[in-house]
Amino acid sequence: MLVQHIQKRMLESDTLTPKSNQRPMFDTAVGLSGPYAISNHFDFEAHRGVEELSPMKPACGFSRESFQMNSPGTRLALLLRQFPESGQPLFPQLLLVHGMEDSTVPFTATSDAAAAFRSCGVERCDELYIGQTGHQETIMHFMFGGKTKDAVLKWLQDRAASGEETVQLVASSKL
């Protein structure tokens, strides 16, 4: 969702340089325990012996090339590299959250994605790692209350208290 949003806003602009008043449609996005690089995640699944059972391979196209095209982190990094000046003002504050005990998607997927975004010039990308929390717990705690929801709400409150722009929370399972 985030990749499509930024790409659409960039293409809607009559020039590659955004107008001075052009802002993101939403100013905050939260990513939860994401496999932001599908090819890397496929390798992780293959190491565990579950690559043929996982829905990731058929959902993302069965080939390394398709994995790259369907990787939200890779797509976003390519978009930002393609239009470095015009993408920044349209890019919302990003918080990437991951449980440290995640055995489904390793927490390094989040740190790798954040590093890739920063290498493209993204200045507003925070990482939050939740101790003693697995993949499912990270998601469930966000939805129904628990460590993840508490930590994300604290991050949002701290951001609001520091005088940053108004926070609008949009939940999505896709970046």
DSSP of 57-75: HHHHTSSHHHHHHT-HHHH
State pLDDT tens for residues 10-30.
Answer: 677 654 454 545 555 678 889
- Locate all alpha helices (DSSP H) within the chain, ordered by sequence: 2-12, 38-48, 56-60, 64-69, 72-82, 84-87, 108-119, 135-144, 147-161
Q: What is the mean pLDDT of the chain?
A: 83
The pLDDT score that the predictor gives to residue 131 is 95
The model's pTM = 0.82
The share of the chain scoring above pLDDT 70, in percent, equals 79
- φ, ψ of residue 62 in degrees (nearest 5): 70, -5
d(CA 168, CA 164): 12
Using a 10 angstrom Cβ sphere, with 0-12 exposed, 13-18 middle and 19 or more buried, the burial of residue 26 is middle
Who's near 40: CB < 8 A, 6+ residues apart?
Answer: 109, 112
Nearest to 38 by CA among 135, 129, 105: 105
d(CA 137, CA 9): 34
The pLDDT score that the predictor gives to residue 139 is 94
The pLDDT score that the predictor gives to residue 163 is 76
Sign of CA dihedral 160, 163, 168, 172: negative
Angle between helices 72-82 and 108-119 in degrees, nearest 10: 10
The pLDDT score that the predictor gives to residue 23 is 56
Sign of CA dihedral 9, 11, 12, 17: positive
**Stretch (H or E) spanning 94:** strand 93-99
State pLDDT tens for residues 101-158.
Answer: 999 999 999 999 999 888 887 888 999 999 999 999 999 999 999 999 999 999 999 9
State pLDDT tens for residues 56-81.
Answer: 899 999 999 999 989 988 888 788 77
Sheet holding 28-32, edge to edge: 28-32, 93-99, 125-130
- φ, ψ of residue 170 in degrees (nearest 5): -125, 120
